[in-house]
Amino acid sequence: MNHIVKNNITPLCFLTSGDLICYQYGKLIVIRDGEIVTRYEIIRSKKERYIGRINLFFRLFRLGVRVAETIDDKRVLLNVGNHIYEYDFLKKKLSKGYYIGNGIRPLIFTNVKSIKGFDDCICFGGYRDNIDKEPVHIYKRTEIDKWDIVHTFKSGEINHVHNIVADPYRDCLWAFTGDFDEASAIWKITNNFKKVERVLCNNQKYRGCVIFPVNEGLLYATDAPFSPNYIYLMKEDFSMETICQINGSCIYGCQIGDKFAFSTTVEPDGRNNSILNLLISRKRGEGIKDMYSHLYVGSVITGFKDIYKEKKDIWPYLFQFGVIRFPYGLNSTSKLYFQPVATNKHDLDLMIIDINV
For the chain, give the mean pLDDT: 96
**How many other β-carbons are positioned within 10 Å of the β-carbon of residue 94?**
18
Q: Band of the pLDDT at 267, cuts 50, 70, 90?
A: very high
Q: Which amino acid is at 297?
A: V
The CA-CA-CA angle for residues 28, 34, 39, to 5°, reads: 20
Residue 7: which of 346, 238, 301, 278 has the closest Cα? 346
pLDDT for 2: 61
C-alpha to C-alpha distance for 12 and 15, rounded to whole angstroms: 10
CA distance 305 to 294: 10
Q: How does residue 290 score in pLDDT terms, banded at 50, 70 and 90? A: very high
For residue 130, the model assigns a pLDDT of: 94
The angle formed by the CA atoms of residues 151, 152 and 153, to the nearest 5 degrees, is 125
**Residues 140-188: tens digit of each pLDDT:** 999 999 999 999 999 999 999 999 999 999 999 999 999 999 999 999 9
pLDDT of residue 1: 60
pLDDT of residue 3: 75
Burial 112-121 (b: 16+ CB within 10 A, else e): beebeebeeb
Residues 50-63, mean pLDDT to the nearest whole number: 95
From the CB of residue 275, how many other CB atoms can be counted at a distance below 10 Å?
Answer: 8
Mean pLDDT of 126-149: 97
Separation between Cα atoms, residue 176 and residue 188, nearest integer Å: 9
How far apart are the C-alpha atoms of 94 and 75, rounded to whole Å?
10
Res 279: pLDDT: 82
